[in-house]
Structure formats: structure tokens, C-alpha cells
Amino acid sequence: MHTWTAHEIRDKIKNKETSSKEVTKAYLERIEQVENKVESYITVLADEALSAAEAVDKKIASGEEVGSLAGVPIALKDNLCTKDIPTTCASKMLENFRPPYDATVSAKMKEADTVLLGKLNMDEFAMGSSTENSYFKKTKNPYDITKVPGGSSGGSAACVAADEAAFTLGSDTGGSIRQPAAFCGCVGMKPTYGTVSRFGLVAFASSLDQIGPMTKDVRDCAMVYDAIVGYDPMDSTCVKCDYINFESALSESVTGLKIGVPAEYFGEGIDPSIQKAIYAALDTFKALGADYNEMHLPLNEYALPAYYMISSAEASSNLARFDGVKYGFRAEKFDDLFDLYAQTRSEGFGDEVKRRIMIGTYALSSGYYDAYYKKAQQVRTMVMKDFDKAFETYDVLVTPTAPTTAYSIGEKTSDPLQMYMGDICTVSVNIGGLPAIVLPCGYDANGMPIGLQIIGKPFGEKAILNAAYALEKTITKVKPVL
């Protein structure tokens, strides 16, 4: 049962071919079997999950109306607030924090009658690309447990790849859904900024963060997006607009689709096996009736430095709330109020979080704001115009997701700049507020998944989902052996 897709589980439960409790038990057994190898969970809610599954089964048995994802066992990244359930952000700072409210997406999952199995490991406060920055543990890649699962939503990706949940939700600030999805061979989507409420997401960089699904296939991705998309008055950046049903709109036809292939994404540092797999997928698109051409995004090279400047500045501002006064960790020994701040933040934050706070605080400081943060925002506007121009000609853009496949644990931790360069293919999407989906399109010589990224114009989720759905039908997927 744990190998079924989420839509298969939903349909089988709805048709009374199985029960939510049976499926939930199967997932809990799977977690018990492989979690000691993968380490994707921070918190497992076995008793609560079984109770929730029983409640769904009772609803169905009595003929009550149930939610759109009734009985499907899921897990959430641990920066999404869950009422009375630990939400740690994989940090010492929030190790014992139990929110008094649900994030909007958490509430929507309850409304959909899903079964919450637990909360998932991540890079501390979502800062990292490998899930090696967690305060609690290092999550492993199910395809090779000596390698990283990517980050910061590494726990969410590894959980899906290892069949420890039917689907998960992650957050994406600069590629934190898409890069781990590529590393772990699952489907991950970063929606258009503002289409999914960020209320209850512990903020990293508010103008870049977006919540999205990580799933076993593209249909599941569309189905989950249907459940979380929509305007929320609790989030001032949420967009009011009419949304279609993306699952029912899925189509295998890509006839006439115009695909742009930005040359800048295939430059120095991109693994040849990744280039080969991407172009093989493009040829498949062509055989299916689409057309692709190489094109240019000349300002793409400036997206990465602009991203790290903007995200670090916003992180510096957002994380100022963790001062030992209101909630979260507090240092035991301090002399006065200012020493309380200093000791709490020194002891409560990890190295990567401190690094980004220091960069961001410097960029926002008097005398440097115009030279760094303001300049980065101006570059952001130029990058967005680059995309706007590209979408005048093309329906979608296809690129690699990362320069390499998953690398060994510990390989890049001593060189932060090398780690940051791993985001080169993903950050521009967040800079532009665009939607993008990643799905596996092949494997390297070591059997590690290669992820293909499809980027759409703002509110172009239908186009990228359909393109991914058509391509997925032609890809032979290999499951990890655990």
C-alpha cells in the first residue's frame, strides 16, 4: 500500500476498496522499517495518525461528505505551523515550540481529511541546500544513503522517495522544493508567488518563500496543488484570482507547445550526463508535437548574487524576533537585556543561520543599503523583465535543476560558496515569482536521479503541469532499494 500514489489511495478509500486505517498502518510500518536509514522525520505522530484515519473511515461508513484527499497519509516540512504539534524548523531555537494555531496549508490539509504522519527534517530555518544544517540529524538520500537528499526540504523529498508518506509539503525560497525533488527522484512544484498562503510558514525570506507539493507523480502534484491553492486574507501577499481544477485539466497533449532552452543554464559546471538527459527529454517533447529552440536569458548570471543578498537581508529581519524574550530558546546565563539577546542568539542559531544573518544585517546597515540590498532589488527587476521577454515567444522554459546529481554527505560543508553555487539553476524562478515543476528525466552512471525543470509564466501552472504530465508518461522510473 505504501507504494500507491496519493490519487490511487484517495480513490481506493473513496470506493471502499481499502480503509484509511489500513493504509496508515502500512505507512507506519514502512516508517518503522526504513526511517533509521533515511532519517526524514523529526516527529512521528503514530497514535494521532491512526485516530485521524479511524475518523475518516467512520465518516465514509456513515455516508458523510469527506474532503478531497480523504484518508491519504501525508507529512509536512517542520517549518509549517501545526497546532499543539512541535514545529521546530530543525533548530535549537524552536526545539520545544508548539504553535497555538495551524498554518493555512496545515488547516487546508485537515479540511481535505488527510492523515498527518509527522513533521519532516530540513535545513535549520530552511537555510541550506543539503539538509546537513539541521540541529537534529542529517537526512539521507534513499537512492544512496551516503549522499545528501538536497535541501532545504530534504526531509520532504526523501520521505516521498522512500515511500514514508503518500505526499509531503515543502517550502521553496531559492529551489528548496525543486532541488531535493531532483536529487531524490520525485516530483516537486514551486507555485507562482502569492497563489498559496504563507500564513503559518516560519519565514525565511518573505518575498521569495512559497509552499508547494512534493509527490510521487505529476497527477498527485496537481491534486495537492488544488487542495492548497487560493486566496487567504491572513496573508497580505496572497493573490485573489479564479483558479481552475488542475487535476481535471491535465492533458497528455503538448502539440504546438513552444519550449525555450536558455543557453545560460547549460554552461560550465553542468554535469554532461545532466545535459544529455535534458536534451533527450527535449527530443521526446519534439516527438510528442512540441517544438524547442535555444534562447538566452542574458541577466541570469546576476540572479544568484541578487538572490543571496535579498534572502539574507530578509532573513536578518525575519529572524530578529528570536531574542529569548517572547518564545523559543532562552540562554540560561546572561548579565542584562542586551547580553540575553546576544547569548540566546549565539547559542540558539547554527553556523549557516548566523552566516546569513550577518550578511543580511551588513547589507541593510546604514551606508550599505543602497550599494547592496537596493541594488539587488534593481537586479531582480531586470531579471524579471528578462523572463517577461522570453515568455513573449515561449510557453515554457526547460532547464536542468542543479549542476550535479546528489553529492556525498560532507562533501561541500566546508565551502559555503560552492554550496551556494548549487542553486544556480533554481534561484531565478523565485526572483521572478514564477511557477516551476521538477520531475525525474533519467539517471546518472551511479543510478542517481536527474531532475528536469519546467518554468512557466506567472500563473502558468496549467502549462507546466501538462508538459510534465506528458513527459512523465515516457519516463521509466527506478525506485530506490532500501
Residue type, 389: K
Rounded Cα distance, 48 and 84, in Å: 12
* Nearest Cα to Cα of residue 80 among 104, 58, 111, 51: 104
Q: Is the dihedral of CA 203, 204, 210, 211 positive or negative?
A: negative
Rounded Cα distance, 109 and 169, in Å: 10
Supply 323's cell numbers: 531574542
* Cβ neighbours of 368 (radius 10 Å): 13
Rounded Cα distance, 92 and 432, in Å: 32
DSSP string of 271-334? -HHHHHHHHHHHHHHHHTT-EEEEE--TTGGGHHHHHHHHHHHHHHHHGGG-SSSSSS---S--
Decide if 273 contacts 450 (C-beta within 8 A): yes
Rounded Cα distance, 104 and 230, in Å: 10
Decide if 147 contacts 116 (C-beta within 8 A): no
Residue type, 82: T
| Residues forming the active site | 77, 152, 176
The 41-44 sheet, strands edge to edge = 41-44, 115-120, 73-77, 167-172, 210-215, 187-190, 436-443, 449-456, 396-400, 258-262, 291-295
Supply 51's cell numbers: 485516530
Left (φ > 0), alpha (ψ -120 to 50) or beta: where does 249 sit? alpha
Supply 307's cell numbers: 538572490
Rounded Cα distance, 356 and 330, in Å: 21
Decide if 451 contacts 183 (C-beta within 8 A): yes
- The CA angle 63-66-72, to the nearest 5 degrees, is 120
* Nearest Cα to Cα of residue 72 among 125, 123, 128, 112: 112
The separation between the first and the last C-alpha atoms of the chain, rounded to the nearest angstrom, is 16
* Nearest Cα to Cα of residue 72 among 230, 216, 212: 216
Residues in the chain, overall count:
482
Residue type, 378: Q
> Which distant-in-sequence residues (6+ apart) come within 8 Å of 374 by Cβ?
none
